[in-house]
Amino acid sequence: METLEDLSRHIEVAHDLQSVVRTMKAVSAVGIRRHEAAEQALRHYLETVELGLQAALRDLPDSAPWFAGEDEGRVGIVVIGSEIGLCGGFNERLVAFTLARLAASGIDADLCQVLVIGTRAEAAWQVKSGRPAHLEEAPATIEALPATVGRVLTLLDHWRAEEGVSRLLLFHHRMDGPQISEPVEVPLFPIAPDWLASLRARRWPSRRLPLRFGPAEGVTRTLIRQLLLARVIGALIQSHAAEHAERLSAMQAADKSIGDRLEELRKTHNQQRQAVITAELLDIIGGYEAASQRPDDA
């Protein structure tokens, strides 16, 4: 049976742990809000890129390569996971979803060029499908996103130029679904011809016609790269927001569990303390009665 000193020490440790958990809850809540704001700002940038692409596509013929179907070639995949843990089965679910989607599409994961972002996701991928070809650390802050995305796009360009990769797929989490977040698949390249055709046919939002500087082919290529840049950044932002949401949910459950444990410890501590006080009072009363007892009463 634990002593009062042991129980007091357990209560103090639980208090300290609860303080850490609540701090992590606050950090995750702030992280979700910051990433939601960043996603909203990125949405405005993406709208601007689409307007520029719409103007450039109008000057291209229907035979332009951007409106052609997908080329046959190797497939490159990008998997965006987490750098740290305490977010449940976040990475394991993502890896399982990615492999299932590839299998459903008839793609052999062992023949793909694989880039995994996040060391935790890399560990989960290694368990299921072996070591990936490339690993990139997930950016810790929103400010670090551009540098990470720059390295990712450079690698994807290398794949297309040197490794024969003609199709790029992106897998990541977003906040949605019954499990706080859900994994999604985003085709990165080639850009869907139907989407480009619908973008070109979209009504221009102003009476002022756009003016293009430079050849239509070159402008289109630049804007499509900006489109890829925005989509990769958006995927990272959504993944980080989903990671924070998963961690917030895990910390809320931990906070409740610690609170229940603290209540049990306090109850046990109070009961034992009361038992000790009662025993001491009985000893005092018994000693007093024994001391006050007269010899002729014996």
Total domain count, the chain: 1
> Looking at residue 63, what DSSP letter applies?
T
Is 24's pLDDT higher than 90?
no
Asked, for residue 292, whether it belongs to a domain, the answer is no
CATH number for 73: 3.40.1380.10
Residues 251-269: pLDDT tens digits? 888 889 888 888 888 888 8
Dist. CA 223–CA 59, nearest whole Å: 14
Q: Does a structural domain hold residue 284?
A: no
The yes-or-no verdict on residue 133 having pLDDT over 60 is yes
pLDDT tens track for 107-129:
888 888 999 999 999 999 999 98
- Tokens at residue 215, please? 């050849």
Cβ atoms of 80 and 118 within 8 Å: the answer is yes
Average pLDDT across the chain, whole number: 85
The model's pLDDT over 208-254, given as tens digits with 9 standing for 90+, comes to 877 777 787 888 888 888 999 999 999 999 999 999 888 888 888 88
Is 296 a member of any domain? no
Domain range enclosing 32: 23-204+214-251
Which residue's structure tokens are 């040197």? 162
In a domain, 268, yes or no: no
- The predicted model scores a pTM of 0.81
Instruction: Say if 113 falls within a structural domain.
Output: yes
Q: Where are the alpha helices (DSSP H) in the chain?
A: 4-57, 90-104, 119-129, 145-162, 193-201, 216-292
pLDDT band at 298 (very low <50, low <70, confident <90, very high): very low
Contact present, 76 and 112 (Cβ < 8 Å)? yes
